[in-house]
Structure 1
Amino acid sequence: MSERPEPPPELPPRVTLPLLDLIQRQALDEDYLLAAERRAARAEEGRTEGGRTAEGGGGSPAATGAARAPGPRRVAAVAVAVFGIMAATAAVQTQRNAGVRDEGRASLVARIEDQNERVSRMQVRIADLREENADTEDALRRLGEREQALTPRLRRLGVRTGFTPTQGEGIRVTVKDAETGDLDGTVRDEDLALLADGLWAAGAEAIAINGQRLTALSAIRTSGVPIEVNGVGIASPYTVLAIGDRGSLQATLLDTSSGIAFDSLSRRFGFTYDLQNEEDMSLPSGPRSFLLLRSAAEDTGQDRPQPKESPS
């Protein structure tokens, strides 16, 4: 059998006991020792009947105990003083730490309150921004609906005023000077103006002469010998494209007063014209320089065509 290991030696109390317990135990042990010595001295005095022996020269045990008595008392007093100092130090330190903790807690509470107030302000700001955003979205939605409602009208106005390219069916009118070469048989600006007025009255939606789109600001005039449309000179033969109902545009043209006057001048002076239906034609927009606004007047908002006047 293997030998049992010897138990470890017990440590002295000064190692295992806490400091305060050790101080208290030592003070109590010394008090017990002092009380035992005093009882022994009184017993010795009783045996000698109160007399002192002269032998030994060192005095009686009671005297010896009395001489040593102040040592334990001083140790106990020192221990109590040390304990009091430690207790006072601990109390002061605890009070100081409590003050620091109170200050830290007050600072932390103040910071928390400041942050809570800041969060409250930001929440109010967020609510205001959300309300403002909702109002802006409603306004944007209304503007979008209005834009959708105005886009078709803007398209129609752009086509009728000549500032939007357009495409569709219509008629082609080709006008030529008289083959005789007589000056009276030369097509003039007022002749083309009568034709354009007749086409407008017949229901044409857009007109172009030799690639020049007629707009609300266009002019057909003679500058020397050639005819100018939109400030651009054109020459015979003149090709007039009119977008509209090709099934009725030709017949309606000759029923208008301007169309009748144009036909009468053609017969009188000898210039010729030819009408032809077209399934699909493309007309460009008018000059962008005409879009410079010089004046404006309030309108009723109704989208209706205006009659064309013959330019001078």
Structure 2
Amino acid sequence: MASRTDTGPVAPRADLLQYLSDTALDADYARVTAARGAPVTSTARRRGIGPALGALLAFGMLVALAAVQTRSGASEAERESEALRAQIDDGRADFAALTGLSNVLQQQVADLQGTAETASQNDADLLADLGRFRTLTGAAAVSGPGVRVVADDAERTKPGGEGAVLDTDLQVLVNGLWQAGAEAIAINGNRISPLSAIRGAGFAITVNYRSLSPPYAVQAVGDSATLEARFVDTPGGQAWLDLETNFGLRFDMDTVESLSLPAAPAARLRVLYAERQGELP
């Protein structure tokens, strides 16, 4: 029976492929061949080497290709992971910056709202003061409750006679109404301002340089509940009681819930020489 020594001792080989080529035919194939009486020739050995060598080369190529693909896939995954981490870091930085900016803007909005509210309140106060000053100076038309007074000459009195209403009588009447608490006064529709003049011109009386004739309708805006009673207690009220009693002048005062007074003429509001000193109250 043939043994492994029939094929000769295996000498060391430097090249692995050359070794595989020389020993590709295994011992079992050699024994079968020897049993049939056919010698194992070098040609038969080369015929068996081809397929084995091809399979080995194909397997090696597959292993190498798999290794390359594995390394390539791992490198690509690492690059994508690094890029994703960089994007996350950038997003966090952007979010932190936007959060800080949002906080700053919110504080600025709150400050502006506070400033606007303060300015609005100041504007409202200034408008209220301006309205009050315009009312008191006669620069604005007004309406409100008050009293209506009708002053007229005594009956059967000649112009300029002893029973006629004089300019001084109307001055006393207006001063008494101011003292009683009137806030706005007009005579025959002519608003009284700080620069208005009530004076006589012949037998006529002028207000704001406009000639008037009796009866004289005096309207005064103020507290209708107290204005009439307080007027009676003023020197002007006492003077008109004397005029009624001693000279027959007619005087009638009624409480009115709603009066409308025009503004004074612009010429009676113009200041030419007086200048304000100090700050406004």
Same fold, judged at TM 0.5 (above): yes
What are the Cα deviations for residues 29-66 of structure 1, in whole angstroms up to 9, with x where unaligned?
A: xx997432112345567xxxxxxxxxxxxxx3423xx4
Matched, 1:80 2:72: no
Q: 1:176 to 1:139 in 2, by over 3 A?
A: farther
Q: 1:266 to 1:249 in 2, by over 3 A?
A: closer
| Residues 139-148 or 34-43, more deviating | 139-148
Matched, 1:286 2:268: no
| Residues 36-45 or 144-153, more deviating | 144-153
Residue segments in structure 1 that go unaligned for 5+ positions in a row: 1-30, 46-59, 302-312
Partner of 2:110: 134
Secondary structure of residue in 2 paired with 1:122: helix
Contact map agreement 2:153 2:215 (CA 8 A) in 1: yes
How far apart are the structure 2 equivalents of 1:292 and 1:127?
54
Contact map agreement 1:171 1:242 (CA 8 A) in 2: yes
Q: CA deviation at 1:121?
A: 1.5
TM-score, with length taken from structure 1: 0.58
Identity %: 25
Matched, 1:248 2:230: yes
Backbone CA RMSD of aligned residues: 4.7
Give the aligned residue type for 1:37. Answer: Y
How far apart are the structure 2 equivalents of 1:216 and 1:191?
18
Contact map agreement 2:185 2:219 (CA 8 A) in 1: yes
Q: CA deviation at 1:180?
A: 1.6
Q: How many residues align?
A: 249
Q: 1:32 to 1:95 in 2, by over 3 A?
A: closer
Q: CA deviation at 1:249?
A: 1.1
Where in structure 2 are the equivalents of 1:81-160 lying within 5 Å?
81-139=57-115, 156-157=132-133, 159-160=135-136
What are the Cα deviations for residues 78-121 of structure 1, in whole angstroms up to 9, with x where unaligned?
A: 22222222222233233333333333223222222222122112
TM-score, with length taken from structure 2: 0.63
Q: CA deviation at 1:137?
A: 4.2
How far apart are the structure 2 equivalents of 1:170 and 1:189?
20
How far apart are the structure 2 equivalents of 1:89 and 1:217?
111
Residue segments in structure 2 that go unaligned for 5+ positions in a row: 1-22
Contact map agreement 2:187 2:207 (CA 8 A) in 1: no
How far apart are the structure 2 equivalents of 1:62 and 1:293?
143
